[in-house]
C-alpha cells in the first residue's frame, strides 16, 4: 500500500534529485516505485522502430522508490495518514489534519 497516487504532486526527499518537485506519472504498487515528471532522468539508446524511425538517444524518467518522495499538499510537504469520513477511507494530511481527497 502506497500513500501516493497518480496525479499527486510530490517532493523528492532523498537521492540525487533531492528537493525537486513534480507530478506523479505512474505508480507501481507491486515494487513500490513511482515515476515523477522531470525527476531521475536517464539516457536510453534506442534502435529505430516504427514509432521512432531514426532511433537515437532518448531522455526519460526512471522509477524512484516510493519511500523517497513526500506528498505536497497546499504547497507544503506532508506525511499522509488514513481516516474514515462518511464511511469511506480517505487520505489525511498529517501537517494540517485536512482530508486530501
Which tens digits make up the pLDDT trace of 78-97?
999 999 999 999 999 999 89
Return the CA Rg of the chain.
17
For residues 52 and 61, which has the higher predicted lDDT (pLDDT)? Answer: 61
Per-residue pLDDT tens digits for 54-82: 999 999 999 999 999 999 999 999 999 99
If you average pLDDT over residues 11-23, what whole number do you get?
95
Q: Can you name the residues that pair with 59 across neighbouring β-strands?
A: 43
Residues 6+ apart with CB under 8 A from 51: none
Q: Which residue has the cell 518537485?
A: 21
Query: What one-character DSSP code corresponds to residue 68?
Result: G
Residue 1 has pLDDT above 80, yes or no: no
Per-residue pLDDT tens digits for 20-33: 999 999 999 999 99
Q: What is the pTM of this model?
A: 0.85
Amino acid at each position: 500500500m502506497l500513500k501516493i497516487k497518480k496525479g499527486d504532486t510530490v517532493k523528492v526527499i532523498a537521492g540525487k534529485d533531492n528537493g525537486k518537485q513534480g507530478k506523479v506519472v505512474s505508480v507501481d504498487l507491486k515494487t513500490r516505485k513511482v515515476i515523477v515528471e522531470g525527476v531521475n532522468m536517464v539516457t536510453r539508446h534506442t534502435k529505430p522502430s516504427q514509432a521512432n524511425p531514426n532511433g537515437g538517444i532518448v531522455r526519460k524518467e526512471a522509477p524512484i522508490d516510493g519511500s523517497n518522495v513526500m506528498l505536497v499538499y497546499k504547497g507544503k510537504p506532508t506525511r499522509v495518514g488514513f481516516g474514515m469520513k462518511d464511511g469511506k477511507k480517505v487520505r489525511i494530511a498529517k501537517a494540517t489534519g485536512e482530508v486530501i481527497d
